[in-house]
């Protein structure tokens, strides 16, 4: 069992840290929210007052933070991971950030003797709670092998997809498909309701055929009920579509549908829905049709 420092105990990080505690690891957690730290402590983990306290004695350091600025602050900041982790520490960043930042973090970490993996996840809050996340990993083969017990505790499918940063590219591809699927499910709902057909029955039939998807399975009821408690916030998907668009520019490819999805997510945010679940794309699609 390992000594783990876990930073970022939000919607995803809290259940993931809980699974690591349940698997027998010694987990010391830190979050800017003291309530989140208290919750981990109540579940058998240990609370830390700052990043350094969580990292100092750890063999494995994990972050699950919102975006690039928070990862940069926690990793490069004064008394951050880079400054306080012991040489040889395995650092796993589960956050979704830009591939370039992941590569930069890995390079700086390696110079100080750290082993670094980018390991963004898919599966949402439910996937985190049920420990069935899909994990896309960038980094070295031996570090990936060393992280296997961690991935086993929080996930079900995990693959090494390339060097540092590659995990983030696969996550961008994931967010492209997820955002596009939400947009199309939303359009399907608007079409059926506006045509006076039974949208609930319609979605059941869609779910049983080639149009079926995990999004239809998990979100059918909440979307029909216009229940948009996150889950995964529009603000975070907006950040992710920015990563998709910049990754496409770097790779010199055109993603016309991705660009449209990015605009729909931007519209959701502009309409004040940033803190709602990303299934609230339905609100934008409805507004476009005056509904
Ligand atoms: P969240 O906002 O619920 O959690 C982030 C946590 O980080 C919060 O508790 C916040 O207080 C903490 N935090 C922020 N800055 C900090 C700092 N400087 N030091 C310490 N703690 C800090 O977000 P989330 O939904 O858990 O998402 C986390 C990451 O996982 C994001 O990159 C997101 O894109 C990705 N993700 C989320 C989901 C989902 O369904 N929610 C699914 C897959 C991937």
Using one digit for the tens of pLDDT, what is the confidence trace for 209-268?
999 999 999 999 999 999 999 999 999 999 999 999 999 999 999 999 999 999 999 999
CB contact set of 33 (below 8 Å; sequence gap of 6+): 9, 10
* 100 CA to centre of own chain: 17
Name the segment(s) of the chain with CATH classification 3.40.50.720.
Answer: 3-163
In whole angstroms, how far apart are CA 225 and each of 131, 148, 199, 212, 282?
27, 39, 11, 19, 11
Q: Please, which contacts does 36-39 make with residues 24 or more away whose CB atoms are closer than 8 Å?
A: 36/9, 36/10, 37/9, 39/9, 39/14
Average pLDDT over residues 53-63: 98
Using one digit for the tens of pLDDT, what is the confidence trace for 156-184?
999 999 999 999 999 999 999 999 999 99
CATH class of 169-288: mainly alpha
Of all protein residues, whose CA lies closest to atom 40 belonging to ligand 1? 124
In whole angstroms, how far apart are CA 202 and each of 61, 186, 198, 220?
46, 13, 6, 10
Q: How large a percentage of the chain has pLDDT more than 70?
A: 100
In whole angstroms, how far apart are CA 111 and each of 38, 92, 122, 263?
34, 16, 30, 39
- Tell me what pLDDT residue 268 has: 98
Of all protein residues, whose CA lies closest to atom 4 belonging to ligand 1? 10
Distance CA 271, CA 288 (A): 12
Its pTM stands at 0.96
Q: Are strands 115-118 and 121-122 parallel, antiparallel or unpaired?
A: unpaired
- Tell me what pLDDT residue 163 has: 98
Residue of 7, 13, 28, 233 to test ligand 1 pocket, by largest number of atoms within 8 Å of CB: 13
- Tell me what pLDDT residue 154 has: 98
Average pLDDT over residues 282-289: 98
Distance 118 CA to ligand 1 centre (A): 15
Distance 92 CA to ligand 1 centre (A): 14
CATH class of 3-163: alpha beta
If you compute the radius of gyration of the chain from its CA atoms, what whole number of angstroms results? 20
Q: 232 in ligand 1 pocket by Cβ < 6 Å?
A: yes
Q: 175 in ligand 1 pocket by Cβ < 6 Å?
A: no
- Tell me what pLDDT residue 196 has: 98
Distance CA 82, CA 272 (A): 37
Q: How large a percentage of the chain has pLDDT more than 90?
A: 100
Atom of ligand 1 at shortest range from CA of 239:
34
- Tell me what pLDDT residue 91 has: 98
Distance CA 243, CA 179 (A): 13
CB contact set of 191 (below 8 Å; sequence gap of 6+): none
Upper half-sphere CA count for residue 268 (Cβ side, 13 Å): 33
Q: 229 in ligand 1 pocket by Cβ < 6 Å?
A: no
Instruction: Give the Cβ contact number of residue 182 at 10 Å.
Output: 26
- Tell me what pLDDT residue 72 has: 98
126 tagged catalytic? no
Cα angle 59-61-65, degrees, rounded to a multiple of 5: 175
Average pLDDT over residues 64-92: 98
Average pLDDT over residues 20-26: 98
Name the segment(s) of the chain with CATH classification 1.10.1040.10.
Answer: 169-288
Distance 12 CA to ligand 1 centre (A): 7
Q: 21 in ligand 1 pocket by Cβ < 6 Å?
A: no
Mean pLDDT score of the chain, rounded to an integer?
98
Distance 114 CA to ligand 1 centre (A): 23
Q: 11 in ligand 1 pocket by Cβ < 6 Å?
A: yes
Average pLDDT over residues 15-20: 98
Using one digit for the tens of pLDDT, what is the confidence trace for 106-161?
999 999 999 999 999 999 999 999 999 999 999 999 999 999 999 999 999 999 99
Atom of ligand 1 at shortest range from CA of 236:
34
* 212 CA to centre of own chain: 23
The one catalytic residue among 39, 86, 126, 171: 171
């Amino acid at each position: 069992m390992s000594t783990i420092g876990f930073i970022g105990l939000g919607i995803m990080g809290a259940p993931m840290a809980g699974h690591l505690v349940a698997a027998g690891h010694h987990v010391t957690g830190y979050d800017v929210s003291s309530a989140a730290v208290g919750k981990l402590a109540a579940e058998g983990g240990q609370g830390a007052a700052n990043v350094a306290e969580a990292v100092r004695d750890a063999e494995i350091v994990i972050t699950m933070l919102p975006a690039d600025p928070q990862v940069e602050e926690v990793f490069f900041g004064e008394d951050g991971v880079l400054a306080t982790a012991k040489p040889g520490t395995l650092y796993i960043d589960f956050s979704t950030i830009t591939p370039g930042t992941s590569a930069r973090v890995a390079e700086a970490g390696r110079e100080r003797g750290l082993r670094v993996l980018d390991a963004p996840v898919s599966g949402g809050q439910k996937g985190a709670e049920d420990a069935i996340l899909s994990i896309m990993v960038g980094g070295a083969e031996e570090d990936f092998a060393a992280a296997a017990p961690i991935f086993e505790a929080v996930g079900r499918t995990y693959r090494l997809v390339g060097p540092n940063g590659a995990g983030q590219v696969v996550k961008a591809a994931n967010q492209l498909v997820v955002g596009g699927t939400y947009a199309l499910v939303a359009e399907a709902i608007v079409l059926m309701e506006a045509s006076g057909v039974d949208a609930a029955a319609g979605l059941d039939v869609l779910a049983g055929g080639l149009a079926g998807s995990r999004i239809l399975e998990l979100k059918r009821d909440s979307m029909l009920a216009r229940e948009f408690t996150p889950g995964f916030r529009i603000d975070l998907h907006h950040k992710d579509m920015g990563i998709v668009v910049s990754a496409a520019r770097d790779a010199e490819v055109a993603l016309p549908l991705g660009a449209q999805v990015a605009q729909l997510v931007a519209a959701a945010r502009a309409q004040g829905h940033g803190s709602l679940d990303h299934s609230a794309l339905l609100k934008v699609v409805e507004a476009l049709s005056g509904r």
